[in-house]
Structure 1
Amino acid sequence: SLFGRVDQGGDLVARGAYGTSLAAAEAAGRRIKMLWQHDPAQPIGVWDELREDARGLWVKGRLLDSVARGREAAALIEAGAIDGLSIGYRTQRAAKNDAGQRVLQTLDLWEVSLVTFPMLPTARIAAKGDFIAIGDVLRGMAGVFDEARRNLKRNGG
């Protein structure tokens, strides 16, 4: 779920829409569910981390290989057949903007599903190998600074 992006239903989620729900779930010790295609009878894993970042709702989870559908989902993700995410929620507060779109201001988040066709086409899965380790980022930054230092020396700086 990305903030400020209009989904195929004409809705967009406002920054901060998940804050209350995530805090309440944490306080109650309640987990947001990971489902297959929004089917409450098919939990396939667990979300270990859920938070809002600058872009939207950020989730990190694990598919359960002890669950048949979890194994299937992992295989489908690996093959590129499934790559969408979609949220299940109840709207607590919304308003229309000047463009006539419904702006979801406060949501009660129930679940985040792996889906074939997300309502927000840019809501996608990043597999484990798609993440860059922080050490790699820091090494890359150090290389940029080293190169800049060499250029300054070369140019009399």
Structure 2
Amino acid sequence: MNPQLLLSDLDLDKCDIKFAETEGTFSGYGNVFNVVDSKNEIVMPGAFAKVIKAGDPVDLYVNHGWLKGQLPIGSWTDLKEDHYGLFGQSSIVMEMTTGRDAYWAVKRNLVKGLSIGARPSKNGVEINTKGQRLIHEYEYLKEISIVGAPANHLSEVTSIKFDGDEIKSIETIKDFEHYLRDVGNLSRDHAKMLVAQAKIILNQREADNGLDQKSVDLLAERLSKFKVPE
């Protein structure tokens, strides 16, 4: 491992994970500012400005797999800083077994967060009076990983996106219940598609002995409260 390349992590519950439109695509905070992590480091606002300006490719790994010679499972785009931290969009290669595993692990909350692999600039680190390392500037960002145990407990995935075909694959009330449980922040078009698919299921209930009236009534009640985004 390059001794100058630091790993800095962030907990999943602060990554703001959401599910949306395109399968395998998610967004989130790879790191946040002004938080003391488990390594006694604090990333300061503006620390990623140099690497964002450089525009070099940033890979997506699982548990910093590059350290063990593993392949990336995707890449990051549209990285930017806001008042909270480093935010970006990532696309997982779903044709890879490791990519599919990582996708579903995030979706089912089986992972703990995101973690960066980055190198601070030579003069970009300051030690404060408490002995904490303040990182003012990174000169290189190699990757952002999905990890099992992040050091920075505020790192968050904000959205996992789905393909519209997933809605079309809903065939039973049980499927619909699972989708409502797992997915949020639908676009207007996908919300309409979801409601339309549910109506098809409800209209078929008389021909399908597998649908009990209690389940039908419950789904109808939930649909009545479902609001299509403006």
TM-score interval for Structure 1 and Structure 2 normalised by the shorter chain: 0.7 to 0.9
Q: Which runs of 5+ in 2 are unaligned?
A: 1-30, 161-182, 189-226
Aligned in 2, Cα 1:33/1:99: closer, same or farther, shift over 3 Å? same
- Partner AA of 2:154 in structure 1: T
Which structure 2 residues correspond to residues 24-63 of structure 1 after superposition, within 5 A? 24=54, 26=55, 30-40=56-66, 41-63=70-92
Following TM superposition, the consecutive aligned residue runs of length 4 or more in structure 1 with deviations greater than 6 angstroms are none
Question: Which runs of 5 or more residues in structure 1 are unaligned?
Answer: 140-157
TM-score (norm 1): 0.77
- The alignment status of 1:9 with 2:39, answered yes or no, reads yes
Corresponding residue pairs, total: 133
AA matched with 1:61: S
Contact 1:36 1:42 in 2 (8 A): no
Identity %: 26
Contact residue 50 and residue 59 of structure 1 kept, 8 A: yes
Provide, for residues 83-136 of structure 1, a one-character-per-residue CA deviation record: whole Å limited to 9, x for no partner: 4100001121100123221000111211100001111011122233555869x9
C-alpha spacing 1:10/1:63, structure 2 compared with 1 (3 Å): same
Kindly name which structure, 1 or 2, has the bigger radius of gyration based on alpha carbons. 2
Residue 94 in 1 paired to residue 125 in 2?
A: yes
Shift of the 65–73 alpha-carbon distance from structure 1 to 2, 3 Å rule, reads same
Closer, same or farther in 2 for the Cα pair 1:132/1:109, shift >3 Å? farther
Structure 2 Cα separation of the partners of residues 120 and 131 of structure 1: 26
Partner of 2:94: 65
TM-score by length of 2: 0.53
- Aligned alpha-carbon RMSD (Å): 2.1
- Quote the Cα distance in structure 2 between the aligned partners of 1:130 and 1:9: 34
Larger RCO (CA within 8 A; separation ≥ 6) = 2
Q: Which has the higher strand share?
A: 1
**Partners of 1:12 and 1:103 within 8 A in 2:** yes
